[in-house]
Structure 1
């Protein structure tokens, strides 16, 4: 895996982006295979007030994406093929509109092989973000990068072995997720993560993600602790280099939590507020805090408009500066 490009290409920040679009269009069936396409168009305008730089306003539509899905029932097996691309294919997100491969995988019954979300990505109960590039930063889905892997689901567990972040590692990166679903829509996700660092240490950590329903409203809580997790949270020492989670040759630990509240005003309007904090045990002082508030209006099925304010205490790349952003967006999912 080209980890540097993965860091710079951070992907999705909203729950709707975790799975194929709910509004996929069925194309028909051929040779016992059902074909469908999905995705969405998104346009956004962003006002940026940088703490140590000039303010600016800009627009982009790179997040727009399209996918193709096939489903085949054959000899007692369900075979799913999925491929998806967006337009964040430049070295830095937003520098051009090159096509980028997001997902390309095969799922045979409960086993997935190919390029898709890391096992750590599934550790998080995601909020209703508008912030595509930085929304889940500070959780185990913080980089939202995809890699080549094999994953198997059984009895509530998801077991994943994936292309390691450390290109010189002798072992794959590992993740084990366990999902607990309760009556009323409540959910808890328990995750163990392990990987080999550039110093040769095999380190690990754990996370818990949870969603609690309050009538139509919900509270999401996420927390993590351990070493080797900065490669996934997007927070920590050396995360812009090829040796994340190490400082002076030693493994670095971190602990973080993330909380969000989703308030459903009525079927057409909803509002969200979220706060994230991560404490890193390093000399470089990469502790992280973020706040965000948004309001989203469903104009018609699949068509949404919204506005979001967010603030970061650290910079990460040209499109995630230290300071504040206000985004106004329109999105049509099909």
Structure 2
């Protein structure tokens, strides 16, 4: 009710009070019956007029309230224009990420993992030292895997369009651990999808991210995992997807096995995937076809490579599931375990021979309660090196066992610890072991 309406109603009430009080005063001045009857009739007429005005005001107030209730709410009472004026009409913007603190106590029995290397930040089996002296325990702490992402979703010409950009802080040191601990921003994903098509950088179509265990480590079962993000063009129709992806070849040099990369490919990596899913979980099988190539000023060598990967998740019930992956073929190098093995070996004449590899993992997840859950998993990778080409100093196999316990005091916050035992073996038979306690605090937003 506004101020004018309150004033009118107060005036009506005052008038009625004065009208009622007036006869008492009149009786004191003139007590004749004729005068009293005339005064009463006049007061009755005044009361009827005042009542009519009050009823009319109530009806007007009710009509105004009904119109206000029926009127649609303002489209945007705070902001009259879109956040991004250049965006397509109706675009929905989203933002999220997480803050993650990692702390690791690491002990190795055959040398020290180099300071500042990736192996000090998360589990990378190729960095397990072999052939050195027993080392003490090192403590490393960082927040480099904290993450931000931005999304824009719209519908244009009847097709859903999505733009997605994700980054973390694993972009290399810009400061030092003495004072600033500054790190650069790294692009993880940057793509656009419309309808069945996708173009940009994201997970390889050869990889099954949904099968990865609930690990505290950045990856977890690294040896047995297909793990690549690269630029690609992908088409998906129903359960089938096919992609053309950026190629790159890693080669073990003849005689030494020393690793080098070649960007001489002129044919993209081709992947084909089939996915089947239901309430029971999911199952997927993917194929990979590649060109391995290396050029010098005087020669050009190439080799074809093919691989397959089977993976999935099987729900055992409301509180348990099994996750798995099994991959095999040749030329798997850069797709497997952060390049634990090369794609190809170089012969004495410079020609390339694709390296055969087999890898996989199995993981069990159990949920004790909404606050507590645990995961146990085993991971392994093996390579069929031709030691006449590579020598005995290359990796023959690596394996690891992980067990973790994660506590969520409230949704979106995880506090956990993971025990990791890893082992790497060379073709010479020499081995190196790593024991690690990896702890984290992670808040999603």
Return closer, same or farther for 1:165/1:295 CA change in 2, 3 Å cut-off. Answer: same
Distance 1:278 1:272 in 2: 20
Distance 2:246 2:271 in 1: 12
Return closer, same or farther for 1:299/1:124 CA change in 2, 3 Å cut-off. Answer: closer
Relative contact order higher in (CA < 8 Å, ≥ 6 apart): 1
Alignment of 1:146-161 (within 5 A): 146-161=229-244
Cα deviations by residue, 1:108-143 (Å, 9 ceiling, x for unpaired): 1221101111122237611111111x52422342xx
Q: Give 1:169's aligned residue.
A: 265
Unpaired segments ≥5 residues, structure 1: 1-27, 316-320
Cα deviations by residue, 1:28-73 (Å, 9 ceiling, x for unpaired): 8763110010110000111001122332011000000101100011
Distance 2:416 2:182 in 1: 24
- Return the index of the structure with the highest Cα Rg: 2
Q: Give 2:107's aligned residue.
A: 49
Distance 2:303 2:340 in 1: 16
Q: Give 1:308's aligned residue.
A: 418
Query: TM-score with structure 1 length normalisation?
Result: 0.82
Q: Give 1:286's aligned residue.
A: 396
SS of the residue corresponding to residue 141 of structure 2 reads: strand
**Higher strand fraction: Structure 1 or Structure 2?**
1
Alignment of 1:1-334 (within 5 A): 31-53=89-111, 54=135, 55-90=137-172, 97-122=183-208, 125-132=211-218, 134-141=219-226, 144-166=227-249, 167-182=263-278, 184-198=279-293, 199-215=301-317, 216-234=319-337, 239=342, 244-248=343-347, 249-282=352-385, 283=387, 284-314=394-424, 322-334=433-445
Alpha carbons 1:236, 1:286 under 8 Å: kept: no
Alpha carbons 2:421, 2:433 under 8 Å: kept: yes
CA RMSD, 1 decimal: 2.3
Cα deviations by residue, 1:186-221 (Å, 9 ceiling, x for unpaired): 211101011111341111011100211111200112
SS of the residue corresponding to residue 131 of structure 1 reads: coil
Alpha carbons 1:220, 1:261 under 8 Å: kept: yes
1:237 CA displacement: 6.7
SS of the residue corresponding to residue 231 of structure 1 reads: helix
Query: TM-score with structure 2 length normalisation?
Result: 0.62
